[in-house]
A and B are shown apart, each in its own frame.
Chain A
Amino acid sequence: MAVIEKQSSRLNSLWSNYRLAEQIRRTLIFLAATLGFVVMIWPIAWTILTSLKHPQEVHRFPMTWLPDNWLYFENYRILFTEYPIWRWLLNSIIVTSLSLASTLFFCSLAGYAFAKLRFWGKELLFVSVIALLMMPPEITLVPLYLMFNWAGLVNTYPGIIGSNWLSVVGVFIMRQFMESIPNDYVDAARIDGASEFQIYLRVALPLTIPGFVTLAVIKTILAWNDFLWPLVVATKQEMMTMTVALQVFNTSFYIEYTLITAGALISMLPLITMFLILQRWVMQGMVMAGLKG
């Protein structure tokens, strides 16, 4: 009996040692994660702090961390009154929403066809479309610009949308989601005399709303953040999107960092807000887009 008790107390102390080590290990990981959190969030936090400072505060030595007056919105006032920010935001919204609407419609339509209809060359056509994702868009930048220039689309909304009116990844994603619809539903609708377009609209679309949200999120981020193409196509200041317009601050004139950070914050705020609301969708969408792009 005594032996067993001795053993079990040894075991107990071993166990508590292990628990202690585990506790320490976990605390250390938590501390490291918190440090990482500070590093990850700091650039964005610093942007907010700087945008609330007076230009002179920024040049102070030694540096001060927090703004003197938390309600100093002068930078934003200057930005909105002396620069066409509203126009730039509007351009971004127009370009993003048009790209979004046409991408969602065309991709889901094609996705339905690739998933639920029978036609000659289906697999071959699908694979060859998807294979084009291997081609980085920078390769076609120059000729695409020459083509758009030739068509007179430079400095127009269709021109700025450019290749954003459809998405090859989107076709892939929508086909994935459409394939999960049971064939019975589609067949039943066919027997009831529905046309394929009606089936797509009334049966397939309501059942693939997750796919829609995923694709919409991806497209919003890509279209809003698109830079190289709009930079080339939108050369007039009044046609620039917000992302391209930030570049005006960079090159045209000397501007205080307090203004630049305010502008950068305005440009990223819509997407950060969307991300915080739709976290799971955004992560899933970005990963799906990344895997196939």
Chain B
Amino acid sequence: MERVTVEQIESSSARQLAAKKSGRFSRIWDYISGVITGRTVAHRQARTAYLFTLPVFIYVIIIFFIPAGYTIVLSMYTWSLDGLGRFIGLESYSELLNAPLFLKSLRNTLVFTLMSVPGTVFFGLLAALAFQSRARLRFRGFFKVTYFMPLVVSLVAVAFVWKWMFNPSIGLLNNILRMLSLPEQGWLNDTTQVLPSLAIMYVWARLGFAMVIFIAGLESIPSDYYDAAAIDGASRWQQFWRITFPLLNPQLVLVVILEMITSLRTFELPYMAANGGPAHASRTVVLHIYDSAFQYFQMGSAAAAAIILFALILGLTLVQRRLLSRQIEY
């Protein structure tokens, strides 16, 4: 700690006074120059702080701002192997929105999301209700851990394992169906069954996340509410709909939105398990982006598709937040 002399304080307060008089710009300049030269203790602390956070700002600029701007630029230009071509405005967007393949991938993504999100929320909630501490189930901790485990496995490995189980001729699921003398299914090889099959994988892989968040929400609901309801003769079913469900609303909204975003971005499962097929029946938007950028080198079209995806995610998130959130007080 350096000693601060009276002159220093006086000079700095005089400087502040002068700065105050001469308007905003010079005040900012005064701060910047103070930080650079390390005029006072406070300035030196700020200098250290800027230095400490510098990597974060570099990261944000390189990884977020420049690429984000570049995406917008790319989406409005043609692309050739030498780089940016000529300006075409919004042509890529209108082309995409008229391209059957992109529209199909958009539809597939939405259908997949409509199956996987409710599935994850439903089974996650079921697991949470069974494994909350109030339920006093035996081996609760053990169950919680095993239900969560798929979440640490990469989706690529998940896709492999399930692809093997879904195999129509030698896979486990059709073998079981055969043993039960039920009709065999096409699973990933069937255009109508591939998205539900992928949704099953998704629910299996993601359910633990919803479960842990729901458990945290459930444990924060005071037991008194349930005791009071039980004394009033409310059945468990009524208790769930009148107490648990409304009070769990924040966690439900959160999980629905997060799972929606995750499944709108889905790539690994359709890419590894079905390669977008059969007949593009599992082609998702991110798969379309990957395909057009890195197989066909149409960077402009891929960038436009990425921006459409972003708009979709943002729009749906805002709508859901508006529609689902309820303020509940008891």
Contact = CB atoms under 8 A, between A and B. Distances in A.
Given A29-B135, A62-B175, A282-B152, A140 B56 contact: no
Contacts of B179: 62
B48 A117 contact: yes
Interface residues of B, number: 85
Given A147-B67, A228-B267, A110 B52 contact: yes
Interface string A206-223: 000000000000000100
Contact of B154 (A168, A225, A249): A225
B63 interface: yes
B38 to A, nearest CB: 12
A119 B68 contact: no
B268 interface: yes
A211 to B, nearest CB: 16
Given A110-B56, A139-B306, A140-B63, A120 B46 contact: yes
Contact of A271 (B152, B254, B267): B152
Contact of B289 (A40, A138, A250, A276): A138
B137 interface: yes
Contacts of A144: 63, 67
B56 A171 contact: yes
Interface stretch (A1-9, A80-88, A129-137): A129-137
Contacts of B62: 147
Given A106-B56, A142-B71, A143-B303, 11 more contacts: A46-B164, A106-B59, A138-B309, A146-B299, A163-B63, A166-B63, A227-B267, A274-B152, A282-B148, A287-B209, A290-B213
Interface of A: 26, 29-30, 32-33, 36-37, 39-41, 43-44, 46-47, 50, 58-59, 62-63, 106-107, 109-110, 112-114, 117-120, 122, 125, 129, 132, 134-136, 138-147, 163, 165-166, 168, 171, 190-191, 193, 195-197, 200, 221, 224-225, 227-228, 232, 243, 246-247, 249-251, 257, 260-261, 263-264, 267-268, 271-272, 274-276, 279, 282-283, 286-287, 290-291
